[in-house]
Amino acid sequence: MNRPQYIERMIEIIKRMPGVGPKMAERLSYHILKMSENEVGSLVDSILKARHIIKSCSICYNLSEHDPCSICTDSARDCSIICVVETPQDLIAISKVKDYKGLYFVLGGVLSPLDAVCPDDIRIDNLIKRLKSDNINEVIIATDTDSKGEMTAVYLAELIKKIGIIDIKVTRIGYGLPVGGDIEYADEVTISRAIAGRREM
Ligand SMILES: [Zn+2]
């Protein structure tokens, strides 16, 4: 017997989400069907509200209810340091580290020739514009420690040197983070050590 088409449709949509395979999509779909109408209503409502209200900060590209976001408008922060991350999730992970008081920039991905992701596909131009206009002394490159993250870090460091922004020190987080590690899932202590142990590129 075939599944009812509406269940099939739910599974198809959920399956497209990152990290969700067909089995997980099936489990989640049947779980949603068992939820009360109120619970389903809250789920749908929270997704729609987030979709409508959350925007990208025009300075750092963090996701926020306000533009500029609360980090960019926080006068207690050190405006001379920018930490470059891949995703808003990475920014959240690093923002839990109390000893980092600088600002951020979300690249929106990393370079990946195999997936046809080139410099124009991520926010490298926007980053360079910001480095040229703001008074930045240091850029901490906090992309993941996998091969794409490393390649992007090297590309950025060389680009920043090449365009002649000589006053900016480019550093790379490192010590303590496992090779191939995802910053989003690293714990606070590990990230804190990785930032403290950053080395100049
Ligand atoms: Zn911001």
> Residue 53's pLDDT is what?
94
Compute the average pLDDT of residues 145-168: 85
Q: Are residues 33 and 67 in the same domain?
A: no
Instruction: Give the CATH number of the domain where residue 87 resides.
Output: 3.40.1360.10
Q: Are residues 10 and 71 in the same domain?
A: no
Q: Are residues 99 and 140 in the same domain?
A: yes
Tokens of 19: 């990290």
In 3D space, the residue among 179, 118, 187, 120 whose CA is nearest the CA of residue 146 turns out to be 179
**Boundaries of domain holding 87:** 63-200
- Is residue 99 in some structural domain? yes
Q: Are residues 20 and 70 in the same domain?
A: no
Q: Are residues 86 and 172 in the same domain?
A: yes
Cα 3 to ligand 1 centroid, rounded to whole Å: 46
Cite the DSSP H helix spans in 57-167: 88-95, 124-133, 147-162
Cα 58 to ligand 1 centroid, rounded to whole Å: 7
124-137 pLDDT tens trace? 999 999 988 888 88
Query: Distance (Å, rounded) from C-alpha 25 to C-alpha 37?
Result: 20
Q: Are residues 42 and 102 in the same domain?
A: no
40 pLDDT above the threshold of 70: yes
Cα 74 to ligand 1 centroid, rounded to whole Å: 9
- Is residue 40 in some structural domain? yes
Query: Distance (Å, rounded) from C-alpha 135 to C-alpha 124?
Result: 18
- Is residue 158 in some structural domain? yes
Q: Are residues 73 and 144 in the same domain?
A: yes
User: What is the β-pairing status of strands 102-106 and 63-64?
Assistant: unpaired
Cα 65 to ligand 1 centroid, rounded to whole Å: 11
Cα 194 to ligand 1 centroid, rounded to whole Å: 23
- Is residue 76 in some structural domain? yes
- Is residue 189 in some structural domain? yes
176 pLDDT above the threshold of 70: no
The mean pLDDT value of the chain amounts to 89
Cα 72 to ligand 1 centroid, rounded to whole Å: 4
Of the pLDDT bands very low, low, confident and very high (cuts 50, 70, 90), residue 181 is low
Cα 2 to ligand 1 centroid, rounded to whole Å: 49
Cα 57 to ligand 1 centroid, rounded to whole Å: 5
Cα 102 to ligand 1 centroid, rounded to whole Å: 12
162 pLDDT above the threshold of 90: no
Q: Are residues 129 and 196 in the same domain?
A: yes
Q: Are residues 18 and 77 in the same domain?
A: no
Cα 66 to ligand 1 centroid, rounded to whole Å: 9
- Is residue 58 in some structural domain? no
